[in-house]
Amino acid sequence: MRRGMWHQFGDKSQRMALEQLQHGIGVGVIISPRDLSHENARTYASQYHDLGAEVAIDQQFYVPDFSNRKLNSYPTSQYRITVSRLGQLSESELCGVATALQQINSEISTDLLIAPAVVYEAGRQDIVLLNAKLFAAAKAVGDTLGIPTFATVALGQSVTSADQTTQTALSHATSLNADGWYFAFEFGDERLPTSQEGVLRCCVAGLTLACTGKPVLHAYAGPMSLLSFGFGAMGSGVGHYQNLWHFVRGRWEPSGPQGGGGGAPARYFSAALWGTIVHPDETAQLSQGLRNEVMTQSPFITPWNRWQANKHLVYTIGSALANIASQTNPRLCAQAAIPVLQTAVAQHAVIDSLGLALRDDTNTYQANWLAAMNSLLAQREGDFDYIELLA
């Protein structure tokens, strides 16, 4: 797989990915069947390939009995059933899963096959066995198509709440004969994870997968993609919506009617803050010099609205990741992420000193991410050394 930022699909991502790739942002695309029909996936995948991007599709069996109209357009739809029923699939039914996977990945011409999997939960041996069955079906397809098969390692919050349960789940996942890892880590319901302990645990989990010597694609990374390459990932999935900024299982659970945000102001993603600031409401309160430092430029500044803000966010993150990912050594990538966070902490301190409290508490995580990366480098020195030997 190509090294760098991958476009993680959500709603209305397909054209954004095209536009970003045309601007040189991103090396791959992860299609979401929840958000793009099978027919449209075939059409857009061809265009992404024409722009030099690699393509994969995340089958999204995280909540396997969830479905919607777009998911129903895929051959795998008949297997969107409960975990217990999936665990009872016969050999002939598993062959049916493989046939559906082969059809989808062949028609989309994927460059790697992401195996379907249910979210790993603490104490759920039935899920471990089910994921092994689903992976075996996917691996046979990947081998037939001549493309690598990535095992999906989606760690649920019951697993990620403690080191021991996280490592137990990882030991089960890494026993699979995978060619790579599609890694997702479930935090809480925060806009972005703020816990130093939780972020460090996520980084250690990613580093553990990287120590297998196989590529890691950090799924649903969002702004936390700044850390991905520092824990050994080869790719990092970035999407524009907040429900793509870390793994949120609720995307695949039924929900009631929700508002569309009404007149919520557009939030400007700043590389200097490594977070958002409302523009122009909050940026207008900064001095001209500070505003120039905070407001990262991109092709999507004008006209300014919420959709342009989404494009600007992906462009800004993608540009920063391209610089970090150019280093192939995870230790150097981690060291490259640290000054970005140090700058963010310092800039937020300046803004705080002006008495300006930014909306959404956008200064609540940078210092903890910085501490987590420093701890990772200090505590897992042997792992970094090992990855260097593998290279």
pLDDT tens figures, 26-71: 999 999 999 999 999 999 999 999 999 999 999 999 999 999 999 9
Q: How many domains does the chain have?
A: 2
Q: Is residue 274 part of a domain?
A: yes
> Is the confidence at residue 262, as pLDDT, over 80?
no
pLDDT at 264: 74
Whether residue 261 lies inside any domain: the answer is no
What local confidence, expressed as pLDDT, does residue 102 receive? 98
- Mark whether 24 and 130 lie in a shared domain: yes
Same domain assignment for residues 341 and 230:
no
Spell out the residues 6+ positions from residue 311 whose beta carbon is closer than 8 angstroms to its own.
16, 19, 20, 240, 298, 300
Q: How far apart are CA 207 and CA 221, in angstroms?
A: 15
- pTM for the model stands at 0.97
d(CA 299, CA 347): 24
Do 189 and 315 fall within a single domain? no
* Shared domain check, 224 and 301: no
Confirm if 62 and 79 have CB atoms less than 8 A apart.
no
Query: Quick one: 214 and 333 in the same domain?
Result: no
Report the chain's terminal Cα–Cα distance, integer Å: 16
What was the pLDDT predicted at 245? Answer: 95
Distance CA 236, CA 222 (A): 8
316 alpha carbon, distance to own chain's centre: 16
Q: Are 157 and 187 in contact (CB under 8 A)?
A: yes
Over residues 144-183, the pLDDT tens digits come to 999 999 999 999 999 999 999 999 999 999 999 999 999 9
Which of 217, 252, 287 is the endpoint of a domain?
Answer: 252
- Are 8 and 21 spatial neighbours (Cβ–Cβ below 8 Å)? no
pLDDT of 256 higher than 60: no
- Asked if residue 277 and residue 247 are part of one domain, the reply reads no
CATH number for the domain spanning 31: value is: 3.20.20.80
36 with 175, same domain: the answer is yes
Q: What single string gives the DSSP state of each residue in 295-309?
A: ----TT-SS-SHHHH
pLDDT at 260 over 70: no
Give the domain-ending residue among 194, 222, 252. Answer: 252
Cis previous bond, 148, omega within 30: no
CA pair distance 41, 282, nearest whole angstrom: 39
The two beta strands, 267-270 and 275-278, are antiparallel
**Residue 259 covered by a domain:** no
For residue 372, is pLDDT > 90? yes
**Last residue within a domain, chosen from 192, 220, 252:** 252
The tokens for 178 are 């995978």
Is 226 a domain residue? yes
Which element (helix H / strand E) includes 114?
strand 113-114
pLDDT of 265-319, one tens digit each? 899 999 999 999 999 999 999 999 999 999 999 999 999 999 999 999 999 999 9
> Do 88 and 198 share a domain, yes or no?
yes
Please tell me the predicted confidence (pLDDT) of residue 361.
84
Is residue 309, in this structure, part of any structural domain at all?
yes
**Residue 220 and residue 196 in contact, taking contact as beta carbons nearer than 8 Å:** no
Nearest Cα neighbor of 352 from 277, 288, 279, 280 is 277
Question: Could you tell me if residue 63 is inside a domain?
Answer: yes
Return the DSSP state at 173. Answer: H
Do 239 and 379 lie in one domain? The reply is no
| Within a domain: 11 | yes
Shared-domain flag, residues 10 and 157: yes
- Given this model, what pLDDT does residue 359 score? 84
- Domain annotation covers residue 260: no
Length of the chain: 391
Instruction: Note the pLDDT tens digit of each residue in 181-195.
Output: 999 999 988 999 999
Share of the chain above pLDDT 90, in %: 94
Same domain, 111 and 217: yes
- For 25, the domain range is 4-252
The answer to whether the CB of 1 falls within 8 A of the CB of 217 is: yes
Whether residue 371 is found in the same domain as residue 294: yes
